[in-house]
A and B are shown apart, each in its own frame.
Chain A
Amino acid sequence: MTDNVIRVLGKGKRPLIRPPDMADLRACNRDKNKQLVDKIMTEEEAIEAFVKNGDYIGVELYGTVRCPMSLCRALVRSGKKGFDLAGQGVHESDILLAADLVENIDLTYIGMEVYGVSPILRRAVESGKVKQVIEWSNGAITWRFKAAAMGVPFLPTTSMLGSDTFNYSAAVTVEDPFTGNPICLLPALVLDVGLIHVNRADKYGNCQIDGISGFAFEMARASKRLIVSAEEIVEPEVIRAHPQRTVIPWFNVDAVVHAPFGSWPGEMAGAYERDEDHYRMFVKAAKTAEDTASYMRQWVYDLPDHKALLKKIGDDRLDALRVQGQGGVK
Chain B
Amino acid sequence: MSETQYSPSELLICLAARLVEDNAMAFIGTGIPMLAASLAQKLYAPNLIPVFEFGGVGAELEKLPLAVGDMRTFNKALFASSICDIMETAQRGFIEYGFIGGAQIDMYGNLNSTVIGDQGKPKVRLPGSGGANDIGSNCWRTIAIMPHDDRRFVKKIDFVTTPGYLTGPGAREAAGLPAGSGPYRVVTSLGILGFDEQSCRMKLLSVNPGVTVEKVVENTGFELLFADDIGANDPPTGEELRVLREEVDPDKLYR
What residues of chain A have their CB less than 8 Å away from a CB belonging to chain B? 61-66, 88, 90, 107-111, 113-114, 117-118, 121-122, 125-126, 128, 133, 135-140, 142-143, 146, 157-165, 168, 173, 181-184, 211-218, 267, 269-270, 273-274, 276, 323, 326-329
Do B69 and A214 have beta carbons less than 8 Å apart? yes
Give the Cβ gap from A196 to chain B, nearest Cβ, in Å. 13
Docked Cα-Cα span, A274 to B121, in Å, equals: 34
Residue of B nearest to A133 (CB): B119
Total contacting residues, chain B, CB less than 8 A: 62
Give the Cβ gap from B39 to chain A, nearest Cβ, in Å. 17
B164-194 CB contact bits vs A (8 Å, 1 = yes)? 0010000110111110000000000000000
Give the Cβ gap from B179 to chain A, nearest Cβ, in Å. 10
Do A212 and B80 have beta carbons less than 8 Å apart? yes
CB contact between A329 and one of B63, B125, B138, B159 (< 8 Å): that residue: B63
B252 interface contact, C-beta 8 A: no
Residue of A nearest to B117 (CB): A126
Residue of B nearest to A271 (CB): B71
Docked Cα-Cα span, A107 to B125, in Å, equals: 12
Residue of B nearest to A110 (CB): B127
What residues of chain B have their CB less than 8 Å away from a CB belonging to chain A? 30-31, 52-56, 62-63, 66-76, 80-84, 87, 90-91, 110, 114, 119, 121-134, 137-138, 159-163, 166, 171-172, 174-178, 253-254
> Could you list some 28 contacts between A and B, CB below 8 A?
A63-B68, A64-B67, A108-B129, A110-B127, A118-B127, A121-B127, A126-B123, A133-B119, A137-B131, A158-B137, A158-B178, A159-B138, A162-B171, A163-B133, A164-B114, A165-B133, A168-B119, A181-B176, A211-B71, A212-B52, A212-B81, A212-B82, A216-B82, A267-B71, A276-B66, A326-B75, A327-B75, A328-B70
Say what secondary structure dominates the interface of chain A.
Answer: mixed
Q: Which residues of B contact A184 (CB under 8 A)?
A: 176
Given A114-B67, A164-B161, A329-B63, residue A143 in contact with residue B87 (CB < 8 A): yes
Residue of B nearest to A138 (CB): B131
Do A139 and B176 have beta carbons less than 8 Å apart? no
Do A162 and B87 have beta carbons less than 8 Å apart? no
Docked Cα-Cα span, A272 to B216, in Å, equals: 46
Docked Cα-Cα span, A261 to B30, in Å, equals: 24
- Top 4 nearest A-B pairs (CB, nearest first) are A62-B69, A212-B55, A162-B175, A182-B176
Do B83 and A139 have beta carbons less than 8 Å apart? yes
Q: Which residues of A contact B54 (CB under 8 A)?
A: 62-63, 65, 212, 214
Given A138-B130, A165-B133, A327-B72, residue A211 in contact with residue B162 (CB < 8 A): no
Do B87 and A327 have beta carbons less than 8 Å apart? no
Known pairs A62-B68, A159-B87. 18 more at Cβ < 8 A? A62-B70, A109-B129, A109-B131, A110-B128, A138-B129, A138-B134, A139-B133, A158-B177, A159-B134, A162-B177, A163-B162, A165-B114, A184-B176, A212-B55, A212-B56, A212-B73, A323-B71, A328-B63
CB contact between A211 and one of B63, B80, B87, B132 (< 8 Å): that residue: B80
Q: Most chain-B Cβ atoms within 10 A of its Cβ — which of A136, A168, A327? A: A327
